[in-house]
A = this chain, B = another copy of it.
Amino acid sequence: MDWIYILNLAGVFVFAISGTLTAIDSDFDVVGAIIIGFITALGGGTLRDILIGETPVWWMQDALSLYAIVAAVLCSYLFKKSILKLRKGMFIFDTIGLGLFTILGLQKTLELGLSPLIAVIMGVVSAVFGGVIRDVLSNIVPLIFRTEIYASACVAGALVFLVLDGLRLPLELSMVVSMIVVFLIRYFAVRRKWALKF
C-alpha cells in the first residue's frame, strides 16, 4: 500500500502548510507556527488514536511525517507569497487530504473490530479535528461549524466506502472512489457556496 503512504504524507504536508499559514496570519512567532503546523497535520489522527486506544499515537513511529511537517513549515515561510497565489492548488490538495484522512481513519477503526458507525465517526474525527484544534488555539470559532459543507463531505464519503466495501469491491477501488466522493462534494460545496442550514 505504498501509494497510500505517499498520499498520506502529501496530506500531512498540505495540512501543515495550511496550519502554518493560519499561524502567520494570527501573528504567531516561528515556534508557534511550527506547533500549529504539527497540530493541524497530526491532530485529527492523534485524537482518533487516543479515542480508540491505539497509543503511542501513530506519528511516534513515523519520523518521515514529522520531517514532512518541518519541510512544510519551512516552505510556508520561504514561499509564502507564491503559496498564497496558489491558493486554488492549496485548496485542491487540502481537499485531497480531507478525503484521504477520512477513509484511512475509517479503515483503521474497522480493522480494530469496532462497528461501522464508530468507524464513520472516527473517519470524520481524523479528517477534521486537526483543523478544529488549530482554530481553537488561534481563538477562532472552528470554521467547520459555520461555513460550507466540510464534515458532511467526510460523512458522505465514509458511507459510500461502507456501501462499496459491503458490495465486496476491491479495497483499493472502494477507497479511491470514496475519496473522490469526499473531494467532489467539498469541491462543489465551495465553488457553488452550498450550505446546510435550516
**Interface of A toward B, CB cutoff 8 Å:** 23, 26-32, 35-36, 38, 46, 50-53, 55-57, 60, 63, 66, 77, 112, 114-115, 117-118, 121, 132, 136-142, 144-147, 149-152, 155, 195-198
Partner among B26, B112, B121, B196 whose Cβ is within 8 Å of the Cβ of A30: B196
Residue of B at shortest CB range from A155? B31
Q: Are A63 and B141 in contact (CB under 8 A)?
A: no
Q: Which residues of B contact A198 (CB under 8 A)?
A: 30, 77
26 residue pairs of the A-B complex, CB under 8 angstroms, read: A27-B146, A28-B145, A28-B146, A29-B146, A29-B147, A29-B195, A30-B152, A30-B197, A31-B152, A32-B142, A32-B146, A35-B144, A35-B145, A36-B145, A38-B121, A50-B50, A50-B55, A51-B55, A51-B60, A53-B56, A55-B55, A60-B118, A66-B121, A77-B198, A136-B137, A137-B145
